[in-house]
Amino acid sequence: MTTTSAPPLRIGRGAVRALGFLALATGALESVVTPTLPLLRRELGMSHAEGALLSIVLLVTGALITPVAGKLGDRYGGKRVLVRLMAVVCAGGLVSALAPNLPVLLLGQILQGAMVGALPLSFILVREHLPEGRSKVAIGVVSGLFVAGTMAGTLAAGPVAEGLSRHWMFALPTFAVIGATALVRRLMPEDPPRRSGGAGIDRPGLVLLGATLVTLMLVLALAPEILARPLVLLALLALLACLASGWVAVERRAASPVVDLRMVARPEVWKACVLTFTICVGTSVAAYLVPALFAVDADAYGFGAGATHIGLFLLPGAVAASLAGPLGGFGVRRFGSRAVVTAGILIMAVGLFGLAAVHTEVWHLVVGKTLIALANGLCVTATVTGTATSVDRGDTGIATGLVLVTRVIGFAVGVQISGAILTAGTPAGSDLPAESAYVFGFVLAGAVTVLSLLVVRTLNKGVKE
């Protein structure tokens, strides 16, 4: 393996602004589906299980892109890889904007998932071209603009979809991403590959991981419909087991695996992954069920909210999520990671069980969703921080990457379970789930969240100043 020794070119404010504009645009594009999911379900005739699948395919792509984006950046240069990833994202946005049906829209969302690898590459470029002090500020700015973009997308998606069409809610942020990518290509200097030679990308492992995740999502999405056909269900489960076993076998022999399973075997890492998975399952159940409950007809047990109002109702949760990172970091420094994770789990349990008990007023759902979003941010920040400080410095990237990939998988599984619960709870000949299906979903998520306290008890207290 060889490394380049040429000093990096310094970048000006224009290049940093271009990266910030790109983060803002991608955040907006990523967030348009959640507040408009009830509208998309009506227009495309989707079941709740299909709606759940639509809301997570972007994340599944992201789970595959995240482990290899940095390696590709090392091999070919960060700017080159970033621009090509964003070209895929732009293509996905245009496909989503033009999609006449669910399969085409799913394809667009799969392509858009490449954006998950773009933010880490932006951070790499900033650190490559700026001195330490300025790079920290620039990373904070880019991160903040991505969060601001998600809030803007949450607020604007509903009015655009209802005032223009669902096609425009994908098209407008996609045009912004195209413009931002052009600016980055023009203003960001080329960075030479930092490494050449060495082990390549683990393509067999990547393909098998993707097939395993897709099969898992299909099992969860189709479970309510194929329970009456046990042979079909058993066949899918057997296929899932074969793919997962094959992936483990390949990863154990790969020179540069997608996921380092030896790292997963370390107690501090697997405990962090289990915690992250359970916490994100609880978060994602609320992320799917709350907007769906807002959209239920007011003559039944819901509120008849349209996409615009749903976006407004979800905004406090988005604000809480943006504040949770800094609060979690402060809490870890002051009280230690275990204390912050415990507090977050208790807050999330209160939010989930509270939603199961009372959901007859809009403010019930707004408060519950805000508590859950805050708790998720606290837990994830503390878990990532605790993991990063419990492994050797050289293993930090691998260990925290595993936690972040687990976060995506947990969210995807939780959303699919939510869709399956609502589908199973919908009486024959009706498209309205029973209210008890929502209650069961919130209670199940709350129970999973509380059980994660068993793992928290075994954690080290973590960093405390």
Dump the DSSP string for 22-71: HHHHHHHHHTSHHHHHHHHHHHHT--HHHHHHHHHHHHHHHHHHHHHHHH
The Cα angle at residue 213 between residues 116 and 146, in degrees rounded to 5: 15
**DSSP 8-state symbol, 195:** -
Asked if 299 contacts 432 with a C-beta cutoff of 8 angstroms, the reply is: no
| CA 348 to mean position of chain CA atoms | 18
Candidates 222, 317, 282; CA nearest to 442 is 282
* Residue recorded with tokens 């979800």: 314
Residues 6+ apart with CB under 8 A from 314: 34, 35, 154, 290, 291, 369
For residue 462, the model assigns a pLDDT of: 47
pLDDT for residue 2 = 46
pLDDT score for 350: 93
Token pair belonging to 277: 């998975």
Under 8 Å between Cβ of 150 and 28 = yes
Residue 193 Cα to chain centre, angstroms: 28
Residue 196 pairs in a beta bridge with 2
pLDDT, tens digit only, all 465 positions of the chain: 444 444 455 555 677 777 778 888 888 888 788 778 878 888 888 777 777 777 777 777 777 777 677 667 666 667 777 888 888 889 988 998 888 888 888 888 888 888 877 766 776 676 666 665 565 566 656 666 676 777 777 778 888 888 888 888 888 889 998 988 888 788 777 766 655 555 566 778 778 877 887 787 777 766 666 666 777 778 888 888 898 888 888 877 877 776 667 777 777 777 888 888 888 888 888 888 888 888 888 888 888 888 788 888 888 887 887 777 777 777 777 887 788 888 889 999 999 999 999 988 889 999 999 999 888 888 877 776 666 566 665 555 566 667 767 777 788 788 878 888 888 788 877 778 888 989 999 999 999 998 888 887 776 554 444
Phi, psi for 260 (deg, rounded to 5): -80, 100
Distances (CA, A) of 3 to 55, 179, 224: 40, 33, 53
What region, left, alpha or beta, does residue 422 occupy, with left being phi > 0 and alpha being psi -120 to 50 degrees? alpha
Buried b vs exposed e over 276-289: b needs ≥16 C-beta within 10 Å?
A: bbbbbbbbbbbbbb
Residue 237 to residues 61, 77, 212, 223, 356, Cα–Cα distance (Å): 22, 40, 11, 11, 31
434 contacts 426 by C-beta, under 8 angstroms: yes
Rounded Cα–Cα distance for residues 413 and 394 (Å): 31
